[in-house]
A and B are shown apart, each in its own frame.
Chain A
Amino acid sequence: MKKLLSAFIGILILCLLLAGGDYALNRHNNGSSRKTVTIYNWGDYIDPALITKFEHQTGYHVDYETFDSNESMLTKIRQGGTNYDLVIPSEYTVQRMRREHLIAPLDHRKLPNMRYLDKQFLNRSFDPGNHYSVPYFWGTLGIIYNDQKIKGADVQHWRQLWNPRLKNNLMLIDSARDVFAIALITQGKSVNTTNYGQLKSAQGKLKQLTPNVKAIIADEMKMYMERGEAAVGVTYSGDAREMMSVNHHLHYVVPSEGSNIWFDNMVIPKSARNKAAAYKFINFMLEPKNAAQNARYVGYATPNWKAKQLLPKKVTSNRAFYPPKQTMKHLQTYRDLPLHVLGEYNDLFLEFKMFAK
Chain B
Amino acid sequence: MRQKAFFAVPYALWIILFVVAPLVLIFYQSFFNIDGQFTLGNYANYLTSSVYLKMTVDSVWYAFLITLVTLVISYPTAYVLNRLPNKQFWLLLVILPTWINLLLKTYAFIGLFSQAGTINQFLRFVGLGSHQLLFTDASFMFVAAYIEIPFMVLPIFNSLAEINPSLINASKDLGANDWQTFTKVIWPLSLPGVKAGIQAVFIPSLSLFMITRLIGGNRVITLGTAIEEHFLTTQNWGMGSTIGVILILAMFIVMAVTGDRRKKKGGVRR
| Interface residues in chain A, defined as those with a beta carbon under 8 Å from any beta carbon in chain B | 69, 71-72, 168, 171, 174-176, 214-218, 220, 223-224, 227-229, 339-340, 342-343, 346-347, 350-351, 353-354, 356-357
Contact = CB atoms under 8 A, between A and B. Distances in A.
Interface string B213-251: 110011111000110011011111001000000000000
Contact of B218 (A72, A168, A216): A216
A298 B134 CA distance: 30
A277 B213 CA distance: 40
A71 B51 contact: no
B234 A346 contact: yes
Given A227-B116, A351-B51, A354-B55, A339 B217 contact: no
Contact of A174 (B51, B55, B218, B226): B218
B31 interface: no
Given A69-B232, A176-B233, A224 B218 contact: no
A71 B230 CA distance: 11
9 contacts: A216-B217, A218-B213, A227-B116, A339-B236, A343-B34, A350-B55, A350-B229, A354-B51, A354-B58
A89 to B, nearest CB: 14
B7 to A, nearest CB: 17
B115 A227 contact: yes
Contacts of A342: 233-235
A224 B214 contact: no
Contacts of A215: 134-135, 217-219
Contacts of B236: 339, 343
Contacts of B34: 339-340, 343
B233 A71 contact: yes
Given A168-B132, A214-B135, A339-B234, A223 B110 contact: yes
B114 A224 contact: yes
Nearest to B116: A227
B54 interface: yes
A141 to B, nearest CB: 16
Top 6 A-B pairs, shortest CB-CB distance: A215-B217, A216-B218, A339-B34, A346-B234, A227-B116, A215-B135
A116 B239 CA distance: 46
Among A218, A228, A353, A357, the one with the most B-chain Cβ atoms within 10 Å of its Cβ is A353
B114 A229 contact: yes
Interface string B1-28: 0000000000000000000000000000
A67 B51 CA distance: 31
Interface in B247-263: none
Contacts of A351: 51
B120 to A, nearest CB: 10
B221 A350 contact: yes
A352 to B, nearest CB: 10
Among A171, A217, A347, the one with the most B-chain Cβ atoms within 10 Å of its Cβ is A347
Contacts of B35: 339
A346 B229 contact: yes
Contacts of A357: 219-220
Nearest to A68: B232
Contacts of A228: 115-116
B218 A356 contact: yes
A168 B230 CA distance: 28
A71 B236 CA distance: 12
A224 B54 CA distance: 29
A214 B219 CA distance: 8
Interface in B160-191: none
B221 A354 contact: yes
A355 B35 CA distance: 30
A343 to B, nearest CB: 5
Contacts of B214: 217, 220
Given A339-B234, A339-B236, A343-B234, A353 B218 contact: yes
A168 B218 CA distance: 14
A175 B228 CA distance: 12
Contacts of B135: 214-215
A169 to B, nearest CB: 10
B39 to A, nearest CB: 13
Among B114, B214, B229, the one with the most A-chain Cβ atoms within 10 Å of its Cβ is B229
Contacts of B235: 71, 339, 342
B67 to A, nearest CB: 21
Given A174-B218, A339-B34, A346-B234, A227 B229 contact: no
A218 B225 CA distance: 13
Contacts of A354: 51, 54-55, 58, 221
